């Protein structure tokens, strides 16, 4: 059974091809993240999600998400929309808290926040997210990347929130220092 499970995981990893031409796996904070989803969401939005080897999107403990826009986007507006979404959530989620940090050169923003969820099925969890907003310029071509990292802790919400709060500084520093792989959008494959 273990061998069959391992083979099906390897097969799933082989079928997912990076449309952003990233390596698979990607190392982040000492963990290997494997491509689990790679989709062109619109004419200009390309999204990829990576999780550790033995996890699934339904109950992950860590997730890396690259949302690449092949067009110019006003960074301050994107940041404001993310902050407002978390602030609205705070009326129903007592753990929802959001912070914004601007890079010294003003070319990047970090939005980090906590949220909680108590699903009907499964364990309640606290999730800490770090979003990195970055603009790129390649000649006359403008593009925009939102790189995000999510870490979930399942179980008692109060103790999980405390545990994640103690990791915040480290998780923020890891995101700020992460070297983004070179982005080369692959040619679209018909039918995908």
- In sign, the C-alpha dihedral spanning 128, 131, 150, 169 is negative
In a domain, 91, yes or no: yes
Q: Give the structural domain span for 109.
A: 2-177
First to last CA, the chain: 31
In a domain, 44, yes or no: yes
d(CA 22, CA 55): 20
Q: How many domains does the chain have?
A: 1
Q: Which residues contact 161 (CB under 8 A, 6 or more apart)?
A: 95, 114, 116, 126
d(CA 149, CA 64): 5
Question: Tell me, what CATH number does 155's domain have?
Answer: 3.40.1000
In a domain, 160, yes or no: yes
In a domain, 52, yes or no: yes
Q: Which helix or strand (DSSP H or E) is residue 169 part of? A: helix 157-177
Q: How far is CA 69 from the centre of its chain?
A: 15
CB of 135 closer than 8 Å to CB of 102: no
Per-residue pLDDT of the chain (192 residues; tens, 9 = 90+): 333 343 334 434 445 689 999 999 999 999 999 999 999 999 999 999 999 999 998 889 999 999 999 988 899 999 999 999 999 999 999 999 999 999 888 889 999 999 999 988 889 999 999 999 999 877 677 899 999 999 999 999 999 999 999 999 999 999 999 999 988 887 654 444
In a domain, 158, yes or no: yes
In a domain, 103, yes or no: yes
Following DSSP, what letter does each residue of 24-54 receive, concatenated? SSEEETTEEEEEEEEEE-SSSEEEEEEEETT
How many CA atoms does the CB half-sphere of 153 hold within 13 Å? 15
In a domain, 184, yes or no: no
In a domain, 54, yes or no: yes
């Amino acid at each position: 059974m273990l061998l069959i499970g391992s083979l099906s995981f390897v097969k799933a990893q082989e079928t997912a091809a990076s449309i952003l031409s990233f390596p698979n796996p990607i190392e982040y904070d000492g963990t290997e993240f494997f491509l689990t989803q790679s989709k062109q969401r619109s004419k200009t939005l390309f999204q990829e999600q990576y999780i550790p080897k033995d996890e699934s999107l339904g109950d992950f403990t860590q997730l890396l998400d690259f949302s690449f826009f092949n067009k110019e986007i006003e960074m301050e507006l994107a940041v404001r929309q993310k902050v407002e979404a978390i602030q609205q959530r705070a009326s129903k989620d007592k753990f929802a808290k959001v912070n914004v940090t601007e890079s010294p050169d003003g070319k990047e923003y970090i939005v980090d926040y906590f949220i909680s969820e108590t699903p009907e099925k499964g364990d309640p969890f606290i999730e800490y997210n770090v979003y990195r907003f970055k603009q790129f310029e390649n000649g006359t071509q403008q593009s925009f990347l939102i790189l995000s990292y999510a870490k979930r802790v399942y179980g008692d919400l109060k103790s999980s929130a405390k545990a994640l709060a103690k990791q915040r500084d480290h998780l923020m520093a890891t995101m700020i220092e992460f070297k983004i792989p070179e982005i080369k959008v692959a040619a679209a494959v018909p039918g995908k």
